[in-house]
Each structure stands twice: as structure tokens, then as C-alpha cells.
Amino acid sequence: MGLSRLAALHGVATSYSPSPDVTVSVPDDTVIAVLAALGVDAGTPADVRKCLAAAESRSRLLPPTVVVWAGEPLPPALAGLPPGSTVTVEPEPSDLPGHPAGRPPAPLSMRARAAPPAAPVASPGEAAPEAVPAPEAPPAPGEAPAWWIPPPHGVHRVHVRTPDNRRATATLVAAPLRVPQPPEGTHGFLVQLYSLLSARSWGMGDLGDLADLAVWAGRSVGSGFVQVNPLHAAVPGKPTDPSPYRPSSRRFPDPVHLHVESIPEYGHVRDRATLDDLRQDAAALSEAVLNKGALIDRDAVWELKRQALELVAQVPLTPGRRADYCDFLAEQGQALEDHGLWCALAEVHGPDWHTWPEALRDPRSPGTARARSELLDRVDFHCRLAWLTATQLAAAQRSAEDAGMAVGIVHDLAVGVHPAGADTWSQQEAFAHGMSVGAPPDAFNARGQDWGLPPWRPDVLAATGYAAYRGLLRGLLAHAGALRIDHVMGLFRLWWVPEGRPPTDGTYVAYDAEAMLAVLVLEAHRAGTSVVGEDLGTVAPGVREALARRGVLGTSVLWFERDWEGDGRPLAPEKWRRDCLATATTHDLPSTAARLTGDHVTLRHRLGLLTRSLEEELTADLTDTAEWLALLARLRMLPEGDGDEEAAVRAVHRFLRRTPARMTGVWLPDTVGDRRPQNLPGTWDQYPNWRLPIADAEGHPVTLEEITASPRLHALMEVLRPRKPRTAPPGERRP
């Protein structure tokens, strides 16, 4: 019982329910290991008693971070303060990115003369320096306690002093109710950027290709967005981990995505012969991918681009460009300097900082400070690459908006980072070392999953006012029209797996979802961006409701949308949820053509991934597909009848368009009949995950130019023409 109580106090689950009627106990040694990663020693019964006594005797006047939502009841931490307590809110500095311009408000001082119950808070407005004393009677419904002065939206410091002179200070997150919403009926494309090669690419898709796709899609087919894979910085090495979902850093983008020729200094490089040679080599890489069956080779692409960028970096910046770069350095601050230093050290000592000389493993050590000075030029080079990439990200979003897109570029936030990368080095105290994020066993994977990503420590996040999380979001949202959050359930809890143990021996660790959501809503509100959460798979009760309350859209994939609480049949379009991004597939699933033909089953059979015989799997798959096709036929969405693959793909998207979903996403490979998934979960070297170019129905790679000219694409997009515009309610985006 003691261990269970101690675990509960730290948000560590001692059991979980993979299904409503099943409860699984977590092994004690797993609980002990997870507590140790949180700085709690529970190795012996005596240790448990000692830590439990200390935890239960510790009385906090305020938790480390307090959340207030505009127009909603005060949290118990504030509403339940002793009568006579003085509350002072110290506003955040006005020079922070995203902070409203103008003079920061003075500190807000207020006194709780009566212990007020939870009551709605008025919408933020201009605050007076003093509060009106609270009446003895509780406030009427819909009224705020008279002593409470709502602060402006932001991340502030709140100071409390009680009549008996107890004091406390905490971070106060004052958030709006919801994130901005996209216009209803918005459609767009989903694409893995590396897979989208144009005639000018250097062996993989780049930010120039992204901008070009956005302009074409906005102007030619009326699309409202283009969603891409995470563009986070990868861990260098040969071979580099090709997965965009296991990056070195989520805070900064990867310069491999740069379109080199678009950099202003490129035209002033003196060594033109070397540049010409590099461009010829890049053209050969693209030719091999597009016409000779080669896979996308990120390492080869980066080697060519790195050499070109080294030459570009030798060109002096103009005064205006220099000023812009200096502003970027100042805005990004210590985080960028650390990232640049990690990249420079990785060039010397290798990409795993755990193997570096001991003095360099601590980013704040004297040895690291000396290395920072010695490698100053290389640090500056990597910082400049981050700036160049950020400017091209901004240019892509501007291009999308100028082309009439209502949303623009939808960026993707991976659930975690590589254990050896820049983020875990520079923010070591924020990560639970010796732990990995994954998923528990379920009906689809009896072994569970281990993703090899160290989790953030929820206690450190709270103690630091979620500074790392805020910085991450601010960087991603700066050049985004919307943000997709992979495994959005991680805002609530994550499955931690102790190092060396199978995923079945993991457990859930809870995060402060109110704080995680409040920071997300605040940063999205400041950036004017929408948010889409990937909420597929096992979702704890109440999670989808909490996300919807804050305006975070869900993800609905056609093949999974069935009446699971009823007859299990395909869900009629009018019964789909409204607040979602509706798609036919994702990067982890078969393309629509492969699903309709059963090709995905034969692929998995060829790779030894089936748990039943090929005949059984094909029969089950055919039955599933036939049910959907029958529904499409009943709804008169398939006038061409059976046997027409292209018509069936159009019918699927015609169905998606019929749903009330706010956003409809079209997997770009679906527009040309591609049958290959970009990623096949459960494989590593058995399948070329994350290395395939978009291909047509015959498997021949196609360029961006060929895709946009495809008759098959244009026939498909005809069914997704924008709906009749409507008047948007207050607070909602308009096209």
C-alpha cells in the first residue's frame, strides 16, 4: 500500500486498463524504477516510508504552476486561499516573443478577504492596481470574486502571502479558452516533404518545393493547407536515423531542408566551379531516385548541401541581413547557442554526447565553456543554418497565405527526441534518463511498443513553469498556419518503459494536462494558429472531450470510423465529429489504393508481419473494404460501380467531404495512385521507411511537376471543391 500511495502522489500508475473489463497490475520493480527516474528513492520499504512521510507532510500553499482560464472558475489553489491572503501577480516581460506590444501592466495586487469558492473569472481586460475587497457572501453565478483581478493572457509570476505570514510563489499561466479555429470545410494535402522531389531538388524535397506546392495548391485547386512531416533537426551520422519522429532537437529545424539556391548569398559565392560540381552531383542524386530505383539518401543530400552552405557562409551578410541575423540570435538566446554548440561538438566527438569527454557532457561545465570559445566559428555556422532555415520556413508560410490558403503550412510536432541528441544534452534536467516512451500491449500489438524516446519529467516541467515546452511551441508556431501534435494523448500521460525492460513492463506517468493545454492554447492564440491532435489508438476517457473543449481538433481516419458502441458498421458521414481533420490514411498506414486492392496485406505477408494466414488476413481485409464500398454505393458516391480503382478513391474522398469535419486532408501520394506506405510500423531494415519518393500506380517515381499535372489528381480534386462560404462566428478564422 505504501508504494502505491507514493506512486500516486507522483502520478505513477500501479495498474492500467487495456480494455474496459481488464485491469493489469504494474510490476513493483517498474514502479520503483520510474520513481527513481523522478528523483524518488523507493528501493526498500524503509525508503518508501521515509519518502511517503516526507511527501505527505509537505504542505504547499501553491503548486509550482497554476492555470487560470479566461471566463472559467478559479482553480482551487487560488479560490481556496485563506481569508485575508494577499495575491500579487507579476506580469511577464513585454519583450518576450508573442507578447502584446506596449508597456507592461503594473503588478496586480489583490486581497482575498473571504475564502471564495470556485467561480467564473471575467475575461481579461485592463487591470487596476488594486482590487475591490470581496464581499462576505459568495459571488453570484457567472460573477468573479470581487478580489480577483484577471491578468492579461500570458505566463506570469504569482506571489501569495497569508495572514499568518506564509508565502508562496508560482508560475501563473493565464490562457484564453480555446485555440483559433480554421474555417469549416477546409481541404488540403498531407505530404512527407522529403518524398516530394521537383526537377530542381537536390535528391529530396525541400522548402522551396514546399512553397511551390503551397502556391500551386492554393491557387489552382483551392486548398487551404499543406501538412508536412516534422522538420526537426536530425541526429547527424552515417547512416542518419531517417525517421523524422526521432529527431535530435524539436526546437530547431533541420538545414537539410534548405533550398540552397534561394539563399541570397548563394549568388555571390566566388567559387562557382565548386558550386556547379555540387549541383551536378545533386542532379545525379535526383536522377537516381526518380529514374533508377534508388532510395532517398538523406546523408548524401546533406553532404552536398553542407559543402555548398560552407561556401555560402563565406559571403559577408549585407547590413540588413546582418541585423536580421542578430535579431534572430537575440530572440532565440541560450537555446540556439546550445544547439549550435552541440552540432559543433558532434562534428568533433560524434553524435552521441554520452560518449564525449566527461567535461563536455555537461553543457554548463568550464570545459564546455572553453569548447564554446574554441569552436566559435562552427557554432556560428550552425546558428546561421538555423536562421536560414527559419527564414525559408517563414517564406513558405507567406507564400501559402499569399496564394489564398486559409491555414497555410501545418507543421508536425514529434512526441519526443533521440536520447543522444541536442535537446537531451542541453536540457538534461528536464528528461527522465533511463526511461523510454512507448505504448502498452493492446489488441493490435501484444508486445507493446518502445519508441526509444526519453520522456520529459513532469515535475521539472512544472517547477520551471514549462519553460522548455513554451520555447518549443513558440519556435514551431512562429512560421506555421497550424500545428499537428503527434500522439496528443502525451499531454495527459505517457507510457514509460524502464531501460532494458520490455514494453510490457512499463507504466503510465501522468502530466498536468491543465498546464500542458493552457500553455498550448496560449502559444497558439499568440501565433494565431490552429492545432490538430493525433488521437488515434488507445485514448483514456475524457481526453478527447478535454481537447475539444480547448479547440484542439482530433484526427479521424476513414477505415477506423465505425460504430464501435453499436453494430460496428462503418459510421455514416453525418455521425462523424465536427472538430477534426478527416483523412483516408496517414504516413503510417496503407495508401488508399493499397487498401482498396489489398496490396498492403500481401506486402505485410512478404515481410513476415502477419499474425494470421495470408488467406485469413485477405478475407478479413476484403470484408472490411466491401462494407465501406457498399456504404459508398448506397450513398450514391460511387456512380461508376465496382472495379474502378480511381473512382473508388474519389468516392472515399467524396465521403470525407460529406462529413462535418472542419478539415479534410488528402494524402498526396493518393492523388497519383501510389501503393507504398512511407512507413511500415514494425519494420526497420526490412522496408525502406522514410526513404521513398512519391510514385504513380505503376511504382514509378513522379516529380512535383508531374504530380500537379496529373489528370488523376485533378479528377480527385474536383470532388473537394470548396463548399459555399459561410459567415464565421466571432473568434473563428475566415478564408
CA distances 31 to 25, 38, 119, 442, 485, Å, are: 10, 11, 38, 20, 28
pLDDT above 90 (res 120): no
Give the per-residue pLDDT at 709.
98
Give the per-residue pLDDT at 22.
86
Region of poorest pLDDT, from 38-42, 568-572, 690-694, 726-730: 726-730
* Whole-angstrom distance, CA of residue 144 vs CA of residue 151: 13
CA distances 101 to 123, 522, 526, 587, 611, Å, are: 19, 16, 12, 40, 59
- What pLDDT, in 10s, does the model give residues 335-353? 999 999 999 999 999 999 9
Determine the Cα angle at 431 with ends 239 and 51, to 5°: 145
Give the per-residue pLDDT at 467.
96
- What pLDDT, in 10s, does the model give residues 676-705? 999 998 888 899 999 999 999 999 999 999
Give the per-residue pLDDT at 129.
34
DSSP3 helix / strand / coil % (the chain, rounded to 5)? 40, 15, 45
> Dihedral of CA 350/354/360/362: which sign?
positive
pLDDT above 70 (res 140): no
Per-residue pLDDT, averaged over 273-284, amounts to 97
Question: What would the DSSP string read from start to end of 446-506?
Answer: TT-EEEEEPPBPHHHHHHTTTHHHHHHHHHHHTT-SEEEETTGGGGTEEEEEETTS-GGG-
Q: State the DSSP code for 700.
A: -
CA distances 280 to 195, 264, 273, 305, 702, Å, are: 20, 20, 11, 12, 20
Q: Is 620 helix (H, G, I), strand (E, B) or coil?
A: helix
Q: State the DSSP code for 152.
A: P
pTM of the model: 0.92
Give the per-residue pLDDT at 137.
47
CA atoms within 13 A on the CB side of 91: 22
Sheet holding 449-453, edge to edge: 449-453, 435-439, 493-498, 507-510
Give the per-residue pLDDT at 447.
81
Whether the CB-CB separation of 665 and 188 falls below 8 Å is answered with yes
Which uninterrupted H or E stretch holds 402? helix 376-402
Per-residue pLDDT, averaged over 414-421, amounts to 96
One-letter amino acid at 322 equals R
Where are the extended beta strands (E) located within 5-123?
15-19, 22-25, 65-69, 85-90, 108-112
- What pLDDT, in 10s, does the model give residues 23-33? 999 999 999 99
- What pLDDT, in 10s, does the model give residues 510-561? 999 999 999 999 999 999 999 999 999 888 999 999 999 999 999 999 999 9
**pLDDT band at 587; cut points 50, 70, 90:** very high
Give the per-residue pLDDT at 731.
53
CA distances 716 to 188, 406, 563, 669, 722, Å, are: 12, 21, 27, 12, 13
- What pLDDT, in 10s, does the model give residues 209-261? 999 999 999 999 999 999 999 999 999 988 888 999 999 999 999 999 999 99
Average of per-residue pLDDT values in the chain: 91
Q: How does 274-285 read in b/e, with b if 16+ C-beta sit within 10 Å?
A: ebeebbeebeeb
Region of poorest pLDDT, from 181-195, 234-248, 297-311, 479-493: 234-248
> Dihedral of CA 611/617/621/623: which sign?
negative
